[in-house]
């Protein structure tokens, strides 16, 4: 069981020396309890205490790092099965597939294609983060190494998917500095692959033909001293894969079975076997159900837009709602003469309101101001949405850019109308309806009446 801050504090040196970077021992211990800092940041804990605490505070699921430099990613480290229990910490990463069976031109094209998707969504960069390099039966080791090299040249972490020891060695010789994953161990070859991965200092991927076999292989590897693993839970069927993905994560987190306390790989490209729509369905399903790395055949925008949106939602902190950047968002071809409408920066509110505004077809400048990422009523209650915050933002950001002097405010904060008018001379303040869905008619009526 996780320890509370107080329990950790009892063992702390209680010196408030600030050497750990926290102002007090209590603050430090609270952060350790949350998993925000490592206990080793404190130089004064006794060795005894550290040993005792490390075991107790060790997460049920290891955090495994892949890739190098800027492209190093943490996988796993989760402490809960559902996002509402506590935030998921390390998001799913997506890998596009390459194969040694492809000719050079195809490989080059695939690599270029993997770079196409690259965009920002609510402050997060979305792109194909990794490459998954399949090794066709009978591939020449040099050829495999060459493909691996090309993949690694993109700077993205590479997952070497091979059971051929020579291929693995050849590829690692070329790219081990980039910290790829050697997804190679199974019940038959784990000893050999363990040696190769350990020598190269890379993460070893483990697979099995069943949950039980996978478990035994992992146990054997752990016994051999390797705890730098990821588990490829892909099985013969979708059903068996789903079972494995769930059993591995549930075993680790709910049942505290440390043998399964590793991140997982799910190869949905293999499971879907060319059925594009099915592959999309599986990518979403295994993002939800515990894939740390999801392997797709190709990451195009049709795959990316929903899956990255899903991931962003899934990994958002339930305590800290997503925020959109404050600013002026012109909709339906609005310009400086179009009416202004303001709401808060809570992403859900923004999407709801902007969706309805777009539906109305009426040109509107949507003014988003910083309200701490809270909904209208919550931010109003917390004092983050006030007549002062609105008028200050309008004066500083909007007045220099927009000539129109009509401002629509959310219906739920109609009470601000008078104060805003007082603080924003020259503006006419109009109260919107209570619900976003009523905006379409509201704006159309205003337009019909020549008011905007």
Least distance CB 234 / other proteins (angstroms): 14
Least distance CB 148 / other proteins (angstroms): 26
> ∠288-35-220 over CA atoms, to 5°?
70
Rounded CA-CA distance 220/185 in Å is 11
Least distance CB 16 / other proteins (angstroms): 6
Residue 115 or 401: the one with the smaller Cβ distance to other proteins is 115
Residue 359 or 405: the one with the smaller Cβ distance to other proteins is 359
Least distance CB 299 / other proteins (angstroms): 11
Burial class of residue 88 (count of CB atoms within 10 Å of its CB; 0-12, 13-18, 19+): buried
Q: What share of the chain is helix, strand, coil (3-state, %, to 5)?
A: 45, 20, 35
Residue 72 or 275: the one with the smaller Cβ distance to other proteins is 275
Rounded CA-CA distance 29/37 in Å is 9
Block residue for tokens 């605490």: 53
Least distance CB 200 / other proteins (angstroms): 29
Rounded CA-CA distance 133/198 in Å is 20
Written as six digits, the tokens of 166 are 């020579």
Least distance CB 186 / other proteins (angstroms): 16
Residue 102 or 305: the one with the smaller Cβ distance to other proteins is 305
Residue 321 or 327: the one with the smaller Cβ distance to other proteins is 321
* DSSP string across 183-219: EEE-TTTHHHHHHHHHHHT-EEEEE-SSHHHHHHHHH
Residue 254 or 401: the one with the smaller Cβ distance to other proteins is 254
Rounded CA-CA distance 141/439 in Å is 63
Least distance CB 117 / other proteins (angstroms): 7
Block residue for tokens 């601000």: 416
Rounded CA-CA distance 30/46 in Å is 18
Cβ neighbours for 135, distance < 8 A, ≥ 6 positions apart: 99, 100, 144, 160, 161, 162, 163, 164, 167
Residue 144 or 215: the one with the smaller Cβ distance to other proteins is 215
Residue 46 or 255: the one with the smaller Cβ distance to other proteins is 255
Residue 111 or 413: the one with the smaller Cβ distance to other proteins is 413
Cβ neighbours, 10 Å, residue 113:
14
Burial class of residue 339 (count of CB atoms within 10 Å of its CB; 0-12, 13-18, 19+): buried
Least distance CB 380 / other proteins (angstroms): 11
Least distance CB 107 / other proteins (angstroms): 20
Q: Minimal CA–CA distance to 230: which of 266, 269, 255? A: 266
């Amino acid at each position: 069981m996780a320890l509370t801050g107080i329990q950790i504090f009892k063992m702390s040196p209680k010196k408030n020396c600030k050497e750990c970077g926290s102002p007090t021992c209590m603050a430090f211990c609270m952060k350790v309890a949350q998993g925000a800092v490592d206990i080793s940041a404190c130089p004064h804990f006794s060795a005894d205490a550290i040993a005792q605490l490390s075991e107790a505070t060790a997460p049920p699921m290891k955090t495994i790092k892949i890739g190098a430099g800027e492209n190093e990613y943490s996988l796993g480290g989760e402490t809960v099965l559902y996002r509402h229990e506590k935030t998921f910490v390390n998001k799913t990463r997506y890998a596009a597939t390459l194969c040694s069976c492809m000719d050079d031109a195809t490989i080059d094209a695939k690599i270029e294609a993997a770079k196409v998707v690259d965009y920002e969504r609510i402050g997060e960069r979305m792109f194909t983060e990794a490459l998954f390099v399949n090794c066709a039966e009978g591939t020449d080791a040099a050829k495999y190494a060459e493909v691996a090299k090309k993949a690694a040249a993109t700077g993205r972490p590479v997952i070497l998917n091979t059971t051929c020891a020579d291929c693995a060695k050849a590829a690692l010789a070329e790219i081990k500095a980039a910290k790829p994953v050697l997804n190679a161990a199974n019940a038959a070859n784990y000893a050999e692959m363990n040696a190769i991965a350990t020598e190269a200092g890379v993460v070893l991927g483990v697979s099995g033909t069943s949950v039980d076999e996978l478990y035994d292989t992992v146990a054997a590897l752990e016994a051999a001293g390797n705890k730098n693993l990821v588990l490829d839970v892909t099985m013969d069927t979708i059903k068996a894969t789903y079972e494995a993905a769930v059993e591995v994560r549930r075993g680790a987190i709910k049942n505290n079975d440390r043998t399964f306390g590793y991140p997982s790989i799910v190869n949905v490209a293999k499971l879907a076997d060319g059925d594009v729509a099915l592959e999309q369905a599986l990518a979403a399903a295994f993002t939800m159900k515990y894939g740390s790395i999801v392997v797709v055949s190709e990451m195009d925008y049709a795959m990316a837009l929903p899956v990255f949106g899903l991931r962003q939602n899934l990994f958002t902190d339930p305590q800290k709602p997503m925020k959109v950047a404050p600013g002026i968002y012109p909709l339906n071809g609005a310009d400086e003469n179009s009416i202004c409408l303001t709401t808060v920066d809570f992403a859900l509110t923004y999407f709801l309101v902007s969706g309805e505004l777009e539906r109305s077809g009426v040109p509107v400048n949507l003014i988003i101001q910083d309200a701490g990422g809270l909904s209208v009523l919550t931010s109003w209650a917390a004092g983050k949405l006030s007549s002062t915050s609105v008028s200050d933002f309008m004066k500083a950001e909007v007045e220099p850019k927009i000539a129109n002097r009509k401002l629509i405010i959310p219906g739920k904060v109609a009470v601000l109308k008078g104060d805003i008018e007082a603080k924003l001379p020259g503006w006419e303040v109009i109260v919107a309806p209570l619900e976003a869905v009523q905006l379409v008619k509201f704006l159309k009526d205003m337009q019909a009446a020549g008011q905007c």
